[in-house]
Amino acid sequence: MKSEELRALQAPLKDKYREEPKEAIVTLKAQGTVGEGVSCSVNTGKALVEAGLHPATGGTGMAACSGDMLLEALVACAGVTLKAVATSLEIELKGGTISAEGDLDFRGTLGVSKEAPVGFSDIRLNFDLDTDASEEQVATLLKLTERYCVVKQTISNPTNVDVLHSVTN
């Protein structure tokens, strides 16, 4: 996609959202169904993913780990954002990879230690880019990618999560 094509695609949306800010608020949804054993099937809209326990908590490794899925969502969002920003800035990317890794202390989630956090203590997002862009252009590209990556911003800036429930008898 060319820069002009992306701008043409997004211009009417940007205009609409400037004129009617409430139109820019979209509720994204995810749904899972409790499965066999210790699992939950999540419909991604493109495929059904069965999530289960990580081997470090007793899982077999045959089901997706929700921690891995979080990192995968971060990589996907960062990659799409990177490409959109590169397109907008007319920076040619010949290729590249985005990777994420995070550190978990499973003592926290298993209730072995109250001092161990439940969740990632550190996440590293790495970009390995193949481009002829200048160092300054790459710095701008990465700065804007970080700024506009929804998943990165959500996990970096704690958001309110309301936990609701209902019980069916």
User: pLDDT tens-digit profile of 159-169?
Assistant: 999 999 999 88
Question: Quick check: 155 and 110 in contact, CB under 8 A?
Answer: no
More confident residue, 34 or 106: 106
Query: Tell me, what's the pLDDT at 45?
Result: 78
CATH code of the domain containing 14: 3.30.300.20
Domain membership flag for residue 113: yes
* Per-residue tokens: 44: 């991604």
Distance CA 149, CA 79 (A): 9
Beta strands in the chain (DSSP E): 31-34, 39-43, 48-52, 95-104, 120-130
Beta strands in 35-94 (DSSP E): 39-43, 48-52
Domain membership flag for residue 8: yes
Question: Quick check: 96 and 131 in contact, CB under 8 A?
Answer: yes
| Total number of domains constituting the chain | 1
pLDDT of residue 1 exceeding 90, the answer is no
Verdict on whether the full-model pTM lies above 0.85? yes
pLDDT of residue 49 exceeding 80, the answer is yes
pLDDT of residue 30 exceeding 80, the answer is no
Question: Span 87-106, mean pLDDT?
Answer: 93
Distance CA 79, CA 100 (A): 11
Domain membership flag for residue 7: yes
Query: Tell me, what's the pLDDT at 8?
Result: 92
Domain membership flag for residue 34: yes
Bridge-partner residues for 33, per DSSP?
Answer: 41
